[in-house]
Amino acid sequence: MARFSLVQQVHQLLARLLQPGDIAIDATVGNGHDTLFLARCVGAGGKVYGFDIQQQALDSAWQRLEQAGETGPVSLYHAGHETMRFVVPASVQGRVRAVMFNLGYLPGGDKGRTTSASTTLAALQAALGLLAPGGVISLLAYTGHPGGRDEAELVKSWSATLALDLFEVILEVPPGMESAPEWLWIRRRR
């Protein structure tokens, strides 16, 4: 499956789930395409927290949000997503409707600065604790760059340890395509 259509598929699913006033997290802001999408879904009465380790990414994302007139609900943090539990207000914990991860490197940026398995796993674990009942984590893993395959495999192994009475786990791995993106969807049951 092409990267573009997988991103679109994720946006379609999240657009059905997210309501005006909801709280969402973009765990990998990058150039801000997903942040903007989330901001539009939750609207002026909602909230989007975004994380990235590169100032270049945050600047690019903020510019995108400004041009679209959608900065209102968004707070961006120059911090690793593994810190999200300490950065978002305590009042938000257990109320987050969606957390998006789009792993890999910043398109147009330094391809050596990718997400890494240890911090990704720490962030996923933190995100579980923030989800509202019915809330979801969506993760796209790109396997074609150095380290991408190992990271995707560790994420899949981690997801296999989740308690299925607490979480619904869906994994989409395109068959026979070694470097194709893979998609993980985790929903907290009610």
Start-to-end C-alpha separation, the chain:
31
136 binds ligand SAM (CB under 6 A): no
**Between 12 and 190, CB nearer to ligand SAM:** 12
**Between 81 and 97, CB nearer to ligand SAM:** 81
Q: Nearest 5°: CA angle at 77, between 73 and 80?
A: 135
State how far the Cα of 14 lies from the Cα of 179, in Å rounded to an integer.
Answer: 25
143 binds ligand SAM (CB under 6 A): no
52, amino acid identity: D
57, amino acid identity: A
**Between 62 and 133, CB nearer to ligand SAM:** 62
Q: How far is the CB of 142 from ligand SAM (least distance, A)?
A: 7
Question: What x/- string results for residues 41 through 60 when contact with ligand SAM is judged by CB under 6 A?
Answer: ----------xxxx--x---
Q: How far is the CB of 136 from ligand SAM (least distance, A)?
A: 16
**Between 133 and 146, CB nearer to ligand SAM:** 146
State how far the Cα of 42 lies from the Cα of 23, in Å rounded to an integer.
Answer: 7
* Long-range contacts of residues 43-47, Cβ cutoff 8 Å, at least 24 apart: 43/73, 44/72, 44/73, 45/20, 45/21, 45/73, 46/18, 46/20, 46/21, 46/22, 46/73, 47/22, 47/23, 47/73, 47/75, 47/92
Give the residue, chosen from 71, 119, 121, 162, that forms a contact with ligand SAM under the rule CB under 6 A: 119
Give the residue, chosen from 10, 48, 88, 102, that forms a contact with ligand SAM under the rule CB under 6 A: 102
Query: How many residues contact ligand SAM, by CB under 6 A?
Result: 21
- Chain contacts with ligand SAM (rule: CB under 6 A): 28, 30-34, 51-54, 57, 80-82, 102, 104-106, 113, 115, 119
